Amino acid sequence: MPLATQPGSKSTGTDVIVVGAGPSGLATAIQLARSGMSVCVFERQPGIPDRPCGDAHTGASRRALSALGVLDGLMAAGSMSPGYSVCLDGAHPVEFHPGLEGNCLLVPRPILSRALVDAAVSAGVEIHSGRGVTGLVRGPGGEVSGVRVRIGGGELVRSARLTVLAVGAGLCTSAWLGAATVRLGWAARCILDGPHDVRLLEFHLHPDFLPGYLWVFPLAPGRVNIGVGFPNGTGGPRLLRRAMDDWLAPYVRRRFPGVRAALRSGAIGIEPPPCQWPPGILLVGDAAGVADPFTGEGISMALETGMLVAQRVAQHGLSKGALTAMSESIPSLMRERYRQRRRVAASFSRLASIPGLVRFSLCAARLSPAGLHVINRLMTQR
C-alpha cells in the first residue's frame, strides 16, 4: 500500500505503527493484527531484514515462536544442538548436555525473519521495507501521534493512535525520547562456509577478555557461525574491536585456514532507556533494553515483550486514557518480569570476570555432576 500523506496535510491513520521489522516488531505486529487492529510496519532495510546474530534460540525463544505459530517451520529449517561445551584458554573443554529445554535451536536470521514476515503478512499487517523512520510526530501535550518516514529525497507523515518502537539497540530511542544514552552490549560474528568438525555449541574463554566469550555454532554440515561478544558492555566497542583483531581473527585463521568471511558487529539492548514513555508510544525488544547482559540472548525477550505489548493493547484498547495508562504501567511490568534474571546475569558476569574462579568452576564441573548442574543452570538461566 502506498504511503499516504505529505507533511502538514491530514494523514490517513492506522491503529498501530510499528517501527522496525526485527523479532520484537514483527511479534507485536502479528499479535495485534490477529486481534483485529490495523497495523503498519516500517523497516529501513529493503527486503527481508537481516542483522548480525549468533542464530541460537533457547527454550524460551522456541516457546514464543510456537505461540506465534511459526516454530514448526523453523524446526524443519534449522537444527537442534545436542549440547554445548565451554573451554578456557584452549584447555580441554567441559561438555554439557542439558536436555531439550536447555539446548538451542539454530536458525539463520534471514530464515527467522522470512517466517515472521510471512506470518505478519498472513495476519494482514502492511509492511513497508526500505522505509526508514526519521522521527516521531508529537501532539501539543507531548503525546506521540505518528511518525515521519523517509521516502526518496523527502519525508511523509503517517499517523496512528499507537506507535511501537522496535528499532533495536542504538541511538534512535534515546534521540527520539530525549533519554540519556545507555550502556549497550556488543558482539560481532561471521558465517563461514566449508567443512567443519563442530558438533556442539562451543564457548571459548580467554583470560584477557572475560567475561566476554567467543562462540562457534554449527549452523549446518558445511556452515558455522563464529563470533565474539561482550554482552554486559564492558569496554564498549573498543574492546570488541581488540577482541576481533587479537582473538577472533587469529582463531578463525588457525581453525579454518583459507576460509574468508566478513565480520559484522552489532549492539545489544541490555538497559531500559532512563526516561518516561510519552502517551502513544510503547517500546519492545532491544529498544526497551531487555536482552540478557550475561549471555547476550535477546530474541526470546524481543518476542515476549512484543507479545506482552500486543496482549495489553488488545485488552485495554487505544483510547487516550488506555494509552496513557499503558505507557506508565508496561515499563514496570517489563522490569518486573526480567528483574530476577538481570540480577543473576549481573552477578554471574562479575564472577565470570575472575580467571581463577572460572578455571576452578570448570574443574569442579568436570569432576562433579553437581558442579555441572550449577553451571548449566546459570548458562541456561533456569
Ligand X SMILES: Cc1cc2nc3c(=O)[nH]c(=O)nc-3n(C[C@H](O)[C@H](O)[C@H](O)COP(=O)(O)OP(=O)(O)OC[C@H]3O[C@@H](n4cnc5c(N)ncnc54)[C@H](O)[C@@H]3O)c2cc1C
Give the residue among 47, 27, 56 at the shortest CA–CA distance from 224: 56
Q: What's the rounded Cα separation, in Å, for the pair 238 and 186? A: 10
Q: Is 84 in the site for ligand X (CB under 6 A)?
A: no
For the segment 234-253, give every residue that binds ligand X (CB under 6 A). none
Question: Residue 224, interface with ligand X (CB under 6 A)?
Answer: no
Q: How far is the CB of 132 from ligand X (least distance, A)?
A: 4
Which alpha helices (H) appear in 91-214, and where do they start and end?
A: 109-123, 171-177
Nearer of residues 181 and 319 to ligand X, judged by Cβ: 181
CB-closest chain residue to ligand X: 298
Q: Which of 116, 137, 144, 188 binds ligand X (CB under 6 A)?
A: 188
Q: Per CB under 6 A, does 161 bind ligand X?
A: no
225-237 residues labelled b (16+ CB within 10 A) or e (exposed): bbbbbbbbbbeee
Euclidean distance between CA atoms 361 and 359, whole angstroms: 6
Verify binding: residue 114, ligand X, rule CB under 6 A: no
Q: How far is CA 372 from CA 97, 201, 204, 345, in A?
A: 10, 16, 17, 18
Residue whose CB is less far from ligand X, 126 or 366: 126
Measured distance CA(62)–CA(271) in Å, rounded: 23
- Residue 98 as a binder of ligand X (CB under 6 A): the answer is no
Decide if residue 55 touches ligand X (CB under 6 A). Answer: yes
For residue 296, state whether it binds ligand X (rule: CB under 6 A): yes
How many other CB atoms sit within 10 Å of the CB of residue 50? 14
- Minimum CB–partner distance for residue 58 and ligand X (Å): 7
Of 190, 94, 161, which is closest to residue 323 (Cα–Cα)?
161
Contact pick of 107, 137, 187, 365 for ligand X (by CB under 6 A) = 187
> What is the side-by-side strand order in the sheet with 264-269?
94-96, 84-88, 201-205, 213-220, 223-230, 184-193, 264-269
Q: Is position 24 an interface residue for ligand X (rule: CB under 6 A)?
A: yes
Given candidates 116, 164, 167, 205, which one binds ligand X under the rule CB under 6 A? 167
* Residue entry with cell 539454530: 106
Among 161, 189, 206, 342, binds ligand X (CB under 6 A): 189
Distance of closest approach, residue 370 Cβ to ligand X, in angstroms: 28
Amino acid letter for position 267: A
Tell me, by CB under 6 A, how many residues bind ligand X.
Answer: 40
Task: Please report which residue ranges of 4-96 form alpha helices under DSSP H.
Answer: 23-34, 59-67, 71-77
Asked if 279 is part of the footprint of ligand X (rule: CB under 6 A), the reply reads no
Residue 293 engages ligand X in binding (rule: CB under 6 A): no
Helix (H, G, I), strand (E, B) or coil at 354: coil
Q: Of residues 14, 40, 49, 248, which one binds ligand X by CB under 6 A?
A: 49
Are the C-beta atoms of residues 272 and 287 closer than 8 Å to each other? no
Q: Which of residues 297-326 bind ligand X (CB under 6 A)?
A: 297-299, 302
Question: Does the footprint of ligand X cover residue 51 (CB under 6 A)?
Answer: yes
State the nearest-atom distance from the C-beta of 231 to ligand X, in Å. 8
CB of 230 to ligand X, least distance (A): 10
CA distance 169 to 166: 9
Check binding of 62 to ligand X (CB under 6 A). Answer: no
Q: Which CB sits closer to ligand X, 59 or 278?
A: 59
Question: Of the candidates 14, 15, 18, 22, which one interacts with ligand X according to CB under 6 A?
Answer: 22
Q: CB 194: neighbour CB atoms within 10 A? A: 13
Select from 52-60, 88-96, 349-357, 363-371 the region that touches ligand X (CB under 6 A). 52-60
Asked if residues 348 and 294 have their Cβ atoms less than 8 Å apart, the reply is: yes
State in angstroms the smallest separation of the CB of 299 from ligand X: 3
Our finding on whether 19 is near ligand X (CB under 6 A) is yes
Helix (H) or strand (E) holding 185: strand 184-193
Give the one residue of 52, 78, 218, 273 binding ligand X; rule: CB under 6 A.
52
- 211 cis-preceded (ω within 30 degrees of 0): yes
Q: Max alpha carbon distance in the chain (Å)? A: 71
Binding site for ligand X (CB under 6 A): 19-25, 42-45, 49, 51-56, 61, 132-133, 166-168, 172, 187-189, 227, 266, 268, 285-287, 291, 296-299, 302
